[in-house]
Structures are given as structure tokens and as C-alpha cells.
Amino acid sequence: MSWNWQKSGTAFDEAADEFIKRCKLDDASITLLSGIPEDVKEKIISSSTRDWESGLSYTRFFRVVLDAWASQLSLHRHRAVMKLIQNTPEEVMRIVMMKFDPTRTKDKNLAARLTAFLQSVLRTGQHEKGEPYRGMVTNCSIPEKDVGRILGECGATMKRVVECICECLNHDERKHGHRPLVQMAYSNGCSRFELVLYPPFNNESSFEDASIAVREMVQHILKNPSDFAGSANCKMPPRLQLDDWMCPNKKCRNVCFARRATCLRCGEPKPAEWTPAHLARDGKQKRIRVVPMRELVKEMELESGCCRVLWLFPADQREALLGPRGHRVQKIKADAGLQALILTRELETETYFGEVYAQAHLAGRPESTRKAVAIINSLVGGRLAEDGFEELLRASEAALEKRGLLTFESLTELPEIREAMARTRILRQGVGLRTLLEILCQWPEYFVIQRTGPQGATIASPHRTDGNANAA
């Protein structure tokens, strides 16, 4: 699974294109917006203000991106990393924000891996020998439909473009610094190429030679796609989501994200009746794991004091919650100040007590998730999922199965219940449930609750409501 547009070729949505025009972004800013991770891009677009519409200079836009990027990776709690970032040249941080892939952090020590990556970029860039030369390649743009062909599977064809530039400049990795960097900038329905050259090629003459190489290579790729067939039909990613689909073109077989209406490599439309990518290989690639959204969100790093909430809402209300071009769900995320708000698609619904639900995954500070849950509930309804409350629910069920009818006070005094309540403190704050009684009322399928007064209640299991159980 790719993590940003530069790697996957997933085209910018209309909201991003409107943002570029509204904020009057220049070429350098457009390239930066094109290359940053998708979640950072969405956060910036949803946080735009009227003040930005007077025009964002590159310097100001860079600061906006850096703040959003650091916030998304929860870097503000790592003082040493933030100090290193503040002392790092702007050009280096630009590359780091576009190229650092947090999903490859296997031991979850994101700060250590980011520090090593940043220092590597600093070292190979040879900035002590001069600043890199950056500019847009003139007379070279491609329509959106051809972006995938230029990138190739996992960026394989784009690597060929970089190799061509290295040959043109006689770049030797043993003698010279960082290899040339090619980034794609998307706006107005087409993509252009930004080229960055490092010492000793950080000059106008080398840039002109490299630009010629880029133009010639791009034209060759578009006119002779068969020459680059080796970069297509690569192995499928080892991890897929349920709604990824495979291009029906047998010469392509590209894996596409669910939101794509056409294959980005060959332009083949997504068929009305399509087979999920993880089923389309007929077992030809064994080590493929289908990763549900429930599992993916658990890999997201949470800031201290934050929580994850899973809200189930009627599957037929997904489009209503999403809103036109996703604007409604983006507004909910921005207004509540969430770290993340993700809706599952049609293939990832679940039947819960006879009702079909889609999932809304929320992450952020308790006051933010509480506000967002209230908004979603008022718009489309739904109910709380058990995720995060499993230990408390199972302990309550076990106590009632063993003891029969219990008063609310007796149940809350049990050691196992008190321990489970303590472990769910932040999550309870995140959904606005203070007491055990408020929590158990969310699952009438598991608990029969009878009020005995303003503060009292008896609780029983549906399997033990025979009228003979004695209150403790």
C-alpha cells in the first residue's frame, strides 16, 4: 500500500485543486502539496482560512505544512526531534516531509527512525558545498491519465527517469552526493516535473541538461509503453484493504485504490461488477494479508492523552455523512479538532445484532472525539462499538452469570470491574460516558437494566432473568 501521491499516482481530488487556486500557490508550493502524505494534505485543506485566500507565499506555506506534518506524526512530544527539525535547512525538511514513510517504522520508535532518516538526507545532500538547485522542467507536462505510466509500479519507471538524468550528468554515487530528485506537481488536471540537483550539479547549466533528459525520457515512455512493461505486473503488495480492486486489463493488472474510477496506469474504467484485489489473484501470490480498517487504525501513533473511538452508523447513510466530495466529513474533523476521522467503504460493513453498519474511526483528544461522535450521531445516528470496552463488558457479563441479579452499586464494587473501569478512563471521556450504568445501557442485548430510583438500578443478564435471582 502506498502512502502518498508521489508513490501511488493517486490523483489529487478537486478539493486540493480548488485549494491551490484559492490560496494562489506557486510552483514550489504546489510540488510540496503534491508530495506530502495524504492525511497531512487533508488536514491542511480542511484547516484553510480566509486569510490564506489573499495568497500564501512559499515561506508561509512551508511553515503551515511543517506544523501540520509534525502534528500528524505527534512529534511535538519529542523535544530532541523538534529541536533537530528547527535547526535543519528548509530544503532538507522539504525532502524529509515528502519522502519519509512512517509506515516502515517496525519497532514503533518513530522519533529514532525519523532522526536517522533526516541525518541521512543531511549527509548525502552535501549542503556544506552549496544549496541544491531547484526548478520546474519547462515544456513538459502530462495529463492526469498518464501519471501512472510515468511513475510505474512502486515508482519503478520514475527511477528509470532518474537514472537517465544521472547518465546525462555523469553522476557517480561514489564521488558525488545525493542523486537528482524528481517530484511531480499536480494542478489544473495535469502534472509537471520539479527537478532538484545537488552539488556539484547545482547550477543552471546542469539543470538545462537534466531538463532535456527528463523531457526526452517522458516522451519515450508515453510513445513506447511496451519498453517499460517490466515495471508493470509487479507482485501485489503484501497488505491490501478489502475494497482495493484490480484492473481488468490483462496486460496491466494494476492494483487500484477504491476511490479510483479508472486505472491510473492504463485508463481502464472500474467495472460495475468487480472482484476485490485480494480475491482476483486466485491464490497465485500466497503471502497477501487483507488488512481491515480496524487493524490499520491501531497502527496509527496516538498523542499522549488521546483515544480511539469506533462508532457504527447505518451503512446506507455513508454518503450522507461523507457529504459532497467528502466536504461534510472533513468539516466534522476540522470543527472537532480530530487527529483522524476515517469512514469504511461498502465492502467493509459489519452486521451487528441484525443491523448492517459502516464504521467511523475517530482519533484525537477526548473532548474532540466526544464532540465528533455527538455530531455524527445527530446527523446519521448509530451506536458505539465494543472496541476498547471489551474487558469491561466481558467482566460484567461474567459477574452476572455467576451471581445473577445485582444492584448497580454491588457490580461497581467488584475488583475486576473497578480495574476495567480505570483502564477505560480516557475512552469513557472520549464518548461522554461517566458511569458503569451509562456504559452498560449502550448494550441492551447484553444487560437487562431496571431503574429502582434516581440513582439506583438492578442489572441482570438476559439469560438469567427468571425472577428467582436474589439481589446482592
285 has pLDDT over 60: no
Q: Work out the mean pLDDT of the chain and round it to a whole number.
A: 80
The H-or-E segment that residue 79 falls in is helix 79-86
313 has pLDDT over 90: yes
Q: What is the arithmetic mean of pLDDT over 68-74?
A: 88
Strands of 346-407 (E only): list them. Answer: 350-352, 355-364, 383-384, 406-407
Q: What is the arithmetic mean of pLDDT over 319-326?
A: 86
Question: 452-465: per-residue pLDDT in tens?
Answer: 877 788 999 887 55
- What confidence score (pLDDT) does residue 243 get? 63
Question: 382-409: per-residue pLDDT in tens?
Answer: 999 999 999 999 999 999 988 888 998 8
361 has pLDDT over 90: yes
Choose the weakest-confidence range: 3-12, 107-116, 198-207, 353-362.
3-12
184 has pLDDT over 60: yes
| 300-314, 329-343, 367-381: which is most confident | 367-381
In a 3-state reduction of DSSP, which class is residue 12? coil
In the block, residue with C-alpha cell 523535544: 79
Nearest to 69 by CA among 105, 93, 48: 93
- What confidence score (pLDDT) does residue 464 get? 57
Using pLDDT thresholds of 50, 70 and 90, give the confidence band for residue 4: very low
Using pLDDT thresholds of 50, 70 and 90, give the confidence band for residue 421: very high
Q: How far apart are the first and last CA of the chain?
A: 54
Task: Report, at the CATH architecture level, how domain 303-384 is classified.
Answer: 2-Layer Sandwich (3.30)
CATH class of 390-464: alpha beta
More confident residue, 464 or 95: 95
- What confidence score (pLDDT) does residue 447 get? 93
Using pLDDT thresholds of 50, 70 and 90, give the confidence band for residue 441: very high
- What confidence score (pLDDT) does residue 412 get? 92
- What confidence score (pLDDT) does residue 63 get? 92
Using pLDDT thresholds of 50, 70 and 90, give the confidence band for residue 9: very low
Q: What is the arithmetic mean of pLDDT over 27-38?
A: 84
- What confidence score (pLDDT) does residue 269 get? 79
Spans of all domains in the chain: 1-125, 303-384, 390-464
Q: What is the arithmetic mean of pLDDT over 243-272?
A: 71
Residue 99 buriedness (CB in 10 A; 0-12 / 13-18 / 19+) = middle
- What confidence score (pLDDT) does residue 223 get? 80
Percentage of the chain modeled with pLDDT above 70: 80
- What confidence score (pLDDT) does residue 339 get? 84
One-character DSSP codes across 139-191: EEEEEGGGHHHHH-GGGHHHHHHHHHHHHHHT--TTTS-SPPEEEEEEETTEE
- What confidence score (pLDDT) does residue 228 get? 58
Using pLDDT thresholds of 50, 70 and 90, give the confidence band for residue 310: very high
- What confidence score (pLDDT) does residue 472 get? 35
